[in-house]
Amino acid sequence: MEKISQACAANHELNDGKDAINNVSVCGYDSLHQLLAQNLKPQIFQEVSRLLLGLNCGKPLQTISLAEPVKSLSLKHGFDLQAFCFHADKESVREPRIVRVGLIQNSIALPTTAPLSNQKRAIFEKVKPIIEAAGASGVNILCLQEAWMMPFAFCTREKGWCEFAEPVDGESTRFLQDLALRFNMVINHIPRVGDFNESTYYMEGNTGHPVFETAFGKIAINICYGRHHPLNWLAFGLNGAEIVFNPSATVGELSEPMWPIEARNAAIANSYFVGSINRVGTEIFPNPFTSGDGRPQHTDFGHFYGSSHFSAPDASCTPSLSRFRDGLLISDMDLNLCRQLKDKWGFRMTARYELYAEMLARYLKPEFEPQVISDPLLNKKAS
């Protein structure tokens, strides 16, 4: 730990003129994983990885070798590029069901004061080479972050953000359709906590928890704040999802300690893969706005910390993408692992769904009373 502290101090001195990066990085590193990898002895890092990433026997997650043109795109456009492989046991009857999945995180491309149409086009131009890198890498299913083609302006005093709205077959859909067709990919295009007064601009849905059967597997979308509700994750699992994506927009002060935990727990409890995507960057708006938590008015939400990653049903997960750079994360996953883990742990078999349903039905009634058994000694002391 002393060595890591020294490394943080050293990086701060080396980057003294780069305060913007220091403020959003992990002691000058892209991610916690990179910090640990470069400052721990190999055998210690192996054990830390076993605990943090859930790697069996401390074996490092196998990386995927990507083509040189893909690496060149990453270097040319400055986005983080990582690729890993999840394995399942070989089965005697079923063939492996390997699908290559990608996640993209991106920052906005122009100041929020620029004309809205220019902002959108600039994001298209920024994201296109990242999608092309995914397509050139053979990605089958690709997911982008929440509200990927605009600043996250909903909670501010900016009134023009409604101009970003599109019909179902609008500009951004057509943009992605062309790329999906070109690369034979499936591409997926959402409370009140601090600044995120989402109850004022989103309406509750009534379409259930649909799972989409694609040519590459059964996928579902648990948008942003939905990750905080375990029953959302459960519903997608009961509907047969094999991969659930969580496209998000969340900042460090609000949720970063929760970020690596919630999706991984969902993958374990529901025996499917989870792709967690968060936008990246600090977005400054021209008009100051106030928060639901009483903070003085300000012009940004804080730093959207990226850190997109995959979680698997066997408790393993990939390292995360950069905390401050655009990025593409690719993973090969054998969907047979979903059933293998269901068979191994028997969560579906041992769950008491009838009791949960009864409990929830009672909870919805006005006369609901919690099932609390009081200690008789407490009543005696009170009297």
Q: How confident is the model at residue 191 (pLDDT cuts 50, 70, 90)?
A: very low
pLDDT per residue over 97-154, tens digit each?
Answer: 999 999 999 999 999 889 888 999 999 999 999 999 999 999 999 999 888 878 876 6
| pTM attached to this predicted model | 0.86
> Token digits for 319?
């390292």
Q: Which of the residue ranges 93-97, 190-194, 221-225 would you say has the lowest mean pLDDT?
A: 190-194
Residues 6+ apart with CB under 8 A from 318: 53, 61, 82, 84, 309, 310, 329, 331
What one-character DSSP code corresponds to residue 242? S
Coil, helix or strand for 220? strand
Superfamily of domain 61-344: Carbon-nitrogen hydrolase (3.60.110.10)
Any idea which residue has 């997109």 for tokens?
Answer: 308
Task: Answer whether residue 17 shows pLDDT above 70.
Answer: no
Long-range contacts of 292-299 (CB under 8 A, 24+ apart): 292/192, 292/193, 292/194, 292/195, 292/197, 293/194, 295/194
CA distances from 67 to 74, 168, 220, 310, 373 (A): 11, 34, 29, 21, 62
> Token digits for 342?
């269901």
Query: What are the boundaries of each domain within the chain?
Result: 61-344, 347-382
Q: Provide the residue count of the chain.
A: 383
Would you state the pLDDT for residue 98?
95
CA atoms within 13 A on the CB side of 163: 9
Task: Answer whether residue 9 shows pLDDT above 80.
Answer: no
Task: Answer whether residue 7 shows pLDDT above 60.
Answer: no
As a whole number, mean pLDDT of residues 194-210 equals 63
Nearest one of 138, 144, 132 to 74, comparing CA atoms: 132
pLDDT per residue over 291-315, tens digit each?
Answer: 766 778 877 888 888 999 999 999 9
